[in-house]
Structure 1
Amino acid sequence: MSAAEVAKKAINKEALFILDVRNEDAFQDWKIESENFTYLNIPYFDLLDGVEGILNQLPQDKDILVVCAKEGSSIMVAEMLSDEGKDVFYLAGGMRAWSEHLEPVKLGELKDGGELYQFVRIGKGCLSYMVVSNGEAAIIDSTRMTDTYLQFADEIGVKITHVFDTHLHADHISGGRMIAEKTGAAYWLPPKDATEVTFAYEALEDGNDVTIGNTTIHIHALYSPGHTIGSTSFIVDNRYLLSGDILFIDSIGRPDLAGMAEDWVADLRESLYTRYRNLSDQLIVLPAHFMIMDELNEDGSIAKPLHELYANNHGLNIEYEEEFRKLVTENLPPQPNAYQEIRQTNMGKMTPDEDKQREMEIGPNRCAVR
């Protein structure tokens, strides 16, 4: 069963039984999640002598998917279960493939015929975007799986002319610079996040308007520091707010991934409680990450109106500044795996090979305050 097929089941809330044969610590740290998925975690090494001991723990009325890190162990366990008369699947490519799968979702039509797409990296919680208009496209917060965007652009017949990162990412390796190199597109970065980068870029600053195609679709940059000192949001078509890692559907961004939590708390509060408050509360918030599967809409997208977030997101409803400071400096999940190496890679200071990049990104998204 491919990662794409599992993603469809997750989005459609179908039932699936997952036998995860990774070690318990790996399973507890990060697993395939969905509302109607159920799990059994038995390490592969405990099954080397046979699977007879777990047969009574497997369901009769659900698809069974065997999962491991890369694929090999799950094939062997699935074969043993098949020999016992079970109809089972294994996850092609393992958790590595799950981490790298991107699911494109059309968010809506833009004025004058444009379109906006969200790419959901369902296994990692990353969200990226493609704005399309009149044969041109812009990509925002791309992952390192650049072929997905290039192939999608070819399929819908558009040329990528601009690539943006809302900030210098610390949880995943950006594909922005590579897409720009492959397509000749302009690559935009907030200069306050780019003081140490080793490559040329276009300075993304507050008030920048970038037109895509020959229409009136504009990407308007809004300086919104806090997650990083350069974090920049985008207003697209006066309808969508691409919030980067400042604001999520169910939480807010953490300010500590560059070691500046205490210094950036005030910036984070200013961005969320003043800059965003001055925007239309009818804007649809499109974050760069999501935390839990409950945030997915029925169509698989992650999007909510800003007024709903101000009503329901706890991080936007903390009256006292000291309480807010405590929340975002003390109530933090573990930092992303290899986040310093990821930052160095996104600055151009490191050029790890593909296997190393995969290793650096393994694990869940951890960009939010809990």
Structure 2
Amino acid sequence: MAVQPLSAAELQRWIEQKDDRAVLLDVRSAKEFAEWKIQTDALPSINIPLAQFEDASLEAWKNVPADRKIAVICRRGRTAMIVAKILDAQGFDVYCLNKGLQEWSQFYHGVTVTEADDWKLIQVLRMGKGCLSYLLVSGGEALVCDPGRHVEEYLQLAEREGAKIRYVVDTHLHADHISGGQHLARAAGAEYLISAVEMEGAELAYVPLEQHDVIRVGAVAVKVLRVPTPGHTPGSTSFLIADRYLLSGDTVFVGGLGRPDLGGKAHEWAQKLYETVFGAIARLADDVVVLPAHFSDLTREAGAAGYVGAPLQEIRANNDLMRTADPAQFTELVAGRVGAAPPNYAEIVQVNRGLLAADGDKQLELETGPNRCAVKHTS
């Protein structure tokens, strides 16, 4: 036998099919594995670091299921190949994830949220990065919300849906990943919209969201309402589609609220987040479905339909912060739960403002690592 290459798309098929012969073997350190790994409950996952395989006396390969096909995973693919060759020599059916978690972090997977006679909403999951973006299609036109930097994914998806991208919007100035918003708009001949508050000092062309309370997409005119939701950032904006689906950016997640500290004003922005939660969000009906810009735990936050989202009623019931009506208590709780900052966030913000140039390799380096944009709830 020989080590077989495994692409991110092939691995996703294993996960979707819940392949009962497959096992994920992550060979990074226990600390790295705990911080960032492939999230799935469809396949078993084990962590045995490289050092244990390199010590022949430990016979670490004996701790790997011999009757399964093994997908070996590391950060970039090099360490995984070393282990894969050891397992191959022992007769295992072994695969190596091409370029490791860096490739997984660039893999996109679309899931239909809802489809009516005259419009369709697709959630695009960036599996390894925890990022979520959206394509709204109606009457041959499309709006893209919070696109990642791999703009060809959206151009191809729109083409498959028979639509021309007319609007590209960012809910806020992202700090954990590089936005594809301006680049995609240029490539598609579309308008790029983001709040002017987010782009102070920026050197990128954009249309201020403040100029559009309503955005109409398609011949049937699906109504997209701009809903100012500051707190995670001062100009954070959510979008209410057809009075039913809230593209909430990093304001409200299935499992928490947007962290307010990345601008260095945790308490001030937490107060704004309070006003958003008990003002703009409180006015929305319980059956409005929240569709955020990120997920933290796909196994918990994705529903049976495969997309990440939940009705506001469910989120309100499960999120203690959304039931904390005292402003001072809310502010202290939110500011006190922020945790570690997203990796390289200060540089990413500068790239997204057009103030720092980064080629493909640098962008990949900046984005490597987990998403950390949420303040978690406790119940």
Is 1:147 equivalent to 2:152 in the alignment?
yes
In the alignment, what sits opposite 1:23? 29
Return the offset for 1:186.
0.2
In the alignment, what sits opposite 2:193? 188
**Larger displacement relative to structure 2 (217-226 or 20-29):** 20-29
Return the offset for 1:174.
0.3
2:87 to 62, 66, 81: 81
Return the offset for 1:346.
0.3
In the alignment, what sits opposite 1:103? 109
2:163 to 147, 158, 162: 158
Provide the C-alpha distance between the structure 1 equivalents of 2:200 and 2:57, rounded to a whole number of angstroms.
55
TM-score, scaled relative to structure 2: 0.92
The residue type paired with residue 138 of structure 1 is L
The residue type paired with residue 354 of structure 2 is G
The residue type paired with residue 130 of structure 1 is L
CA contact (8 A) 1:206 1:222 kept: no
The residue type paired with residue 324 of structure 2 is I
Is 1:274 equivalent to 2:288 in the alignment?
no
Is 1:363 equivalent to 2:369 in the alignment?
yes
Matches within 5 A, 1:1-370: 1-10=6-15, 16-48=22-54, 53-110=59-116, 113-205=118-210, 208-293=213-298, 294-370=300-376
Q: Structure 1 residues 220, 154: closer, same or farther in 2, change over 3 A? A: same
How many correspondences in the alignment? Answer: 369
Q: Structure 1 residues 51, 188: closer, same or farther in 2, change over 3 A? A: farther
The residue type paired with residue 135 of structure 2 is M
CA contact (8 A) 1:286 1:304 kept: yes
Return the offset for 1:157.
1.8
Gaps of 5+ in 1: none
Return the offset for 1:207.
5.9
The residue type paired with residue 17 of structure 1 is V
The share of aligned pairs that are identical, in percent, is 40
Provide the C-alpha distance between the structure 1 equivalents of 2:211 and 2:337, rounded to a whole number of angstroms.
30
In the alignment, what sits opposite 2:3? none
* Residues 309-365 of structure 1: CA deviation (Å, up to 9, x unaligned): 112222211233232112211111200000000000000001111111111111111
Return the offset for 1:51.
9.2
CA contact (8 A) 1:206 1:232 kept: no
Provide the C-alpha distance between the structure 1 equivalents of 2:95 and 2:250, rounded to a whole number of angstroms.
36
Q: Structure 1 residues 355, 258: closer, same or farther in 2, change over 3 A? A: same
CA contact (8 A) 1:11 1:300 kept: no
Return the offset for 1:63.
3.2
Provide the C-alpha distance between the structure 2 equivalents of 1:62 and 1:322, rounded to a whole number of angstroms.
54
CA contact (8 A) 1:327 1:369 kept: no
**Larger displacement relative to structure 2 (272-281 or 317-326):** 317-326
Provide the C-alpha distance between the structure 2 equivalents of 1:92 and 1:2, rounded to a whole number of angstroms.
6
Return the offset for 1:55.
2.2
The residue type paired with residue 127 of structure 2 is I
**Larger displacement relative to structure 2 (223-232 or 213-222):** 213-222
What secondary structure, in the 3-state scheme, does the structure 1 residue paired with 2:258 have?
Answer: coil
TM-score, scaled relative to structure 1: 0.94
Return the offset for 1:61.
4.4
CA contact (8 A) 2:146 2:179 kept: yes
**Larger displacement relative to structure 2 (5-14 or 156-165):** 5-14
What secondary structure, in the 3-state scheme, does the structure 2 residue paired with 1:266 have?
Answer: helix
The residue type paired with residue 200 of structure 2 is T
Provide the C-alpha distance between the structure 2 equivalents of 1:133 and 1:51, rounded to a whole number of angstroms.
62
Provide the C-alpha distance between the structure 2 equivalents of 1:86 and 1:10, rounded to a whole number of angstroms.
20
CA contact (8 A) 2:316 2:322 kept: yes
Return the offset for 1:258.
1.2
Return the offset for 1:64.
1.6
The residue type paired with residue 365 of structure 1 is N
Provide the C-alpha distance between the structure 1 equivalents of 2:260 and 2:103, rounded to a whole number of angstroms.
30
